[in-house]
A and B are shown apart, each in its own frame.
Chain A
Amino acid sequence: MTADIVKNTEQRAGGGASPSRRGSVHPIVPWIVAWACLLPLPFLLTNAYTQYVVNVICINVILAVGLNIVKGFAGQVTVGHMALAAIGAYSSAVLSTKLGLPFWGAMPAAMLVTGLAGAIVGVPSFRLEGAYLALATLGLAEAVRIIISGTDWLGASLGYAGIPPPYLAGIALDDYRSYYYLAMPLALLGLYFAFSILSSDIGRALKALREDPLAAAASGVNVRKYKVTAFVLSALYAGCAGSLQAHMAPGFIHPNSYTITEMITLLLMVVFGGIGHIWGGVIGAIAVTLIDDLTRDYLQYRMVMFGAVIVLTVMFMPSGIGGLIDDVLVRRRFKAIRRRRAGVASVVAADDV
């Protein structure tokens, strides 16, 4: 079912590599179609646990798409994304329990807080690159987790309970089936925004940063501004996902959900799906969440397996599944050009005769 949606929308969005915007249909239309097609999903899944997994997939899609913006498009290697999600989750939790804000106020506010935190995480990127930047962000991320684990009013290492569910038109979204109708549209909305941004001038500027910051600056791109933009954008996604995690039944969050293990799992989604490829992030989020769930009996071997998959992906499929799709599209275009040229040549030859 999801595959159909992917196919439908991919035609409009051009596969993410170089979205061309032709035709007169507004680009939001395929997304509305996708939303309509995904509506009956929880009713096809009778068991509450599968419904829960589908919600987790939606949240992971938001996380992976956000991480892909900063890592895949802007090329900034960060391992602080889960910490940003933690900041989003805890801000949303505190705002709704201590200040009594409803979900619809707490989530945007939490996204704002996470966005600010993202800007702070982005500052080291002005001077650091690659592995060094990864280490700096790892430090920040661990600091966030340890501060949460040691702060009593954040529940410390016992976790934070009693977060109220969101209300939609007076109905509490307090089971997994109803929560899906919050998580799924938000995931689609996040995807739509990601496509718009990344096919715009902003997205191109981010890619130019990844390719060559010096050449980008010489072309008039304000490198620092766009680095911060990338970190803030991805933080907004993390904040949204964190807030969704916090308010989902049973309304409980724990610092152990935001460790480096979770970060590696998230990285795997992006790497396996395809770095710098939005659909790759979605495919990766779906595949990894499902695998993670199917293999939960072998929890102790999970990291070994994920590590192996990351290494194998980087060795044999460096641009992930998304990259494979891109390759096919590019090769087809090459063939079209060659055919066109061959056509011209044969016409010329015919004229000569």
Chain B
Amino acid sequence: MLLEIKNLTKRFGGLTAVSKVDLSVRQGEVRGIIGPNGSGKSTLFNLISGVYRPDPGASIAFDGKDITNLEAHEIARRGVARTFQLLRIFSGMSVIENLLIGHHGHIRYGAASAVVGSRRAWAEERRVRQEMMELLSFIGLADYADMPAGEMSGGQQRLLALGRAMAARPKLLLLDEPAAGLSPINVDVLLDTVLALKNRFGLTVIIIEHILKVVMETCEAVSVLDHGEKIAEGSPAQIRDDRLVIEAYLGKEMKDEEVRAFLRSA
């Protein structure tokens, strides 16, 4: 198992955002996480990536090592990259600088080299810029390398956020609603890019998504959260027919046939 979460709980005052969640993700898997708004999906990501500390008693193991109480930057350096629901790209920096920050943990030259502007620092800068330009071409933004990231369109910014996460050369990629707000065509473009990146770099991916099409078509397995608890897990086909999931998403009043029709059409 690449990621092994046990008994993960997070309380904010009286609210239990995530409650006793266990989650195991295999190397190379694409896992979907779904659930209604406020079900704790983003909190789960924030706990895995170190933005929040889990409540005592939890354990998160990544790649065989415990990362439960590490700080966000340490977790990132071990190979967990993520995107944010609200993107959080560095809008005042250029597109390529965004990627270079993603690559930060891999840039090797000392502070002294940087201060005096040594040839070594230069050579390294030139090398990583080259590398990032290749990644930019891969996601189709090479033309915009020197543009301020904030001047890109919404769709391009989503691609850039994905690129920044990929620049870290992660083993595990956490995507928080990567397709939110995209037009259907762009959703396809983004999904193709994610799958291409996954195959090329042998990634493991966890996707939070509300667009069911994305989850059903891309993910090998789906976990469902509701009120911070994991209520179901299985293949997309199994989840599609799960009574609890349907209730969580659509309420208890709907008839089964209506629900199935809705899910199939999605």
Q: Is the CB of B100 within 8 A of A204?
A: yes
Closest partner residue, chain A, to B72 (CB atom)? A217
B61-69, B119-127, B219-227, B253-261: which lies at the A interface?
B119-127
Q: A205-B101, A207-B92, A219-B164 are in contact. Are A192 and B73 (CB under 8 A)?
A: no
The reply to whether B90 and A220 form a contact with Cβ atoms under 8 Å apart is no
Which residues from chain B contact A216 at a C-beta distance below 8 Å? 90, 101
Residues of A within 8 A of B49 (CB): 218
Q: How far, in whole Å, are A351 and B49 apart by their CA atoms in the complex? A: 51
Stretch at the interface among B81-89, B187-195, B201-209: B81-89
Residue numbers in B under 8 Å from A340 (CB-CB): 143
A10 at interface by CB-CB < 8 Å: no
Instruction: Bin chain A's interface residue count.
Output: 35 or more
- With CB as the reference atom, state the residue of chain A lying closest to B78: A220
Q: Which of A99-107, A257-265, A329-337 contacts B (4 or more CB under 8 A)?
A: A329-337
State whether A197 and B101 are in contact (beta carbons under 8 Å apart), knowing that A18-B146, A218-B72 are contacts in the complex: no
Q: Flag whether A222 is at the interface (Cβ < 8 A).
A: yes
Query: In the docked arrangement, what's the CA distance between A21 and B94, Å?
Result: 16
Query: Considering the chains assembled together, what is the distance between the CA atoms of A58 and B143 in angstroms?
Result: 40
B117 engages A334 (CB within 8 Å): no
Pairwise interchain contact B90-A208, C-beta atoms closer than 8 A = yes
Q: Which residue of A lies closest to B117 (CB)?
A: A196
- Residues of B near A208 (CB, < 8 A) are 90, 93, 101, 104
Complex CA gap A208/B76 in Å reads 15
In the assembled complex, the Cα of A341 lies from the Cα of B125 at a distance in Å of: 28
Q: How far is the CA of A203 from the CA of B73 in the complex (A)?
A: 17
Check B117–A221 contact: CB distance below 8 A.
no
Contact A219 B104 (CB under 8 A): yes
Tell me, in angstroms, the Cα distance from A221 to B164 when the chains sit together: 13
Query: Judging by beta carbons under 8 Å apart, are A204 and B76 in contact?
Result: no
A25 to B84, CA, bound (A): 42
* Complex CA distance for A109 and B122, rounded to whole angstroms: 30
Q: Contact: A219 with B168, CB < 8 Å?
A: yes
Q: For the complex, is A201 an interface residue (Cβ under 8 Å from B)? A: yes
CA distance A27 to B126 in the complex (A): 14
Judged by a CB distance under 8 angstroms, whether A140 is at the interface is no
**A199 contacts which chain B residues (CB < 8 A)?**
117, 125
Contact B71 A193 (CB under 8 A): no
Contact call B88/A201, Cβ cutoff below 8 A: no
Q: How far is the CB of A353 from chain B (nearest CB, A)?
A: 26
Distance (whole angstroms) from the CB of A187 to the closest CB of chain B: 16
Interface flag for B211 (CB, 8 Å): no
A204's contact among B91, B93, B146, B148, by CB below 8 Å, is which?
A: B93
A199 to B91: give the CA distance in the assembly, Å. 17
Q: State A314–B196 Cα separation when bound (angstroms).
A: 45
State whether the Cβ of B109 lies closer than 8 Å to any Cβ in chain A. yes
Nearest Cβ on chain B to A142's Cβ, whole angstroms: 31
Q: Does A182 contact B (CB under 8 A)?
A: no
A276 to B89, CA, bound (A): 18
- Cα-based distance from A145 to B50 in the complex (angstroms): 41
Given A220-B76, A220-B104, do A212 and B90 touch, yes or no (CB 8 Å)? yes
A214 touches B (CB below 8 Å): yes
Partner of B73, one of A27, A195, A202, A223: A223
Is B111 engaged at the interface, CB distance under 8 Å to the other chain? yes
Residue from B51, B93, B113, B117 with most neighbouring chain A CB atoms (10 Å): B117
A178 CB to closest chain B CB, in angstroms?
27
**Interface assignment of B20: CB less than 8 Å from any CB of chain A:** no
Give B31 Cβ to nearest chain A Cβ, in Å.
19
Instruction: State whether B73 touches A221 (Cβ < 8 A).
Output: yes
Complex Cα–Cα for A18 and B125 (A)? 12
A215 adjacent to chain B (CB < 8 Å): yes
Does A330 lie within 8 Å of B117, measured CB to CB?
Answer: no
Nearest CB of A to B198, in Å: 19
Mark each residue of chain B from 96 to 109: 1 if its CB lies under 8 Å from any CB of chain A, else 0.
11001110110101
Q: Is the CB of A219 within 8 A of B102?
A: yes
A211 within 8 A of B: yes
Task: Tell yes or no: B77 within 8 A of A by CB.
Answer: yes
Q: Does A210 contact B (CB under 8 A)?
A: yes
Question: Is the CB of B15 closer than 8 A to any CB of chain A?
Answer: no
- Least Cβ distance of A14 to chain B in Å? 10
On chain A, the residues within 8 Å of B72 by CB distance are 214, 217-218
Q: Are B105 and A200 in contact (CB under 8 A)?
A: no
With a CB–CB cut-off of 8 A, which chain A residues contact B77?
220
CB nearest neighbor in A for B167: A219
The distance in angstroms between the C-alpha atoms of A216 and B97, with both chains bound, is 12
Query: Besides A203-B114, A341-B143, 9 other CB < 8 A contacts?
Result: A27-B117, A208-B90, A217-B51, A218-B73, A219-B104, A219-B168, A221-B104, A276-B92, A340-B143
- 20 chain-A/chain-B pairs, Cβ below 8 angstroms: A21-B122, A21-B126, A193-B115, A195-B117, A196-B114, A201-B125, A204-B97, A210-B92, A211-B92, A212-B90, A215-B84, A215-B88, A217-B71, A217-B73, A218-B72, A219-B105, A221-B101, A223-B73, A334-B147, A340-B143
The 8 closest A-B pairs by CB, nearest first: A196-B117, A200-B114, A220-B105, A211-B90, A220-B76, A217-B72, A215-B88, A201-B107
Residue numbers of A with Cβ under 8 A of B are 17-18, 21, 27-28, 192-193, 195-197, 199-205, 207-208, 210-212, 214-223, 276, 330, 333-334, 337, 340-341
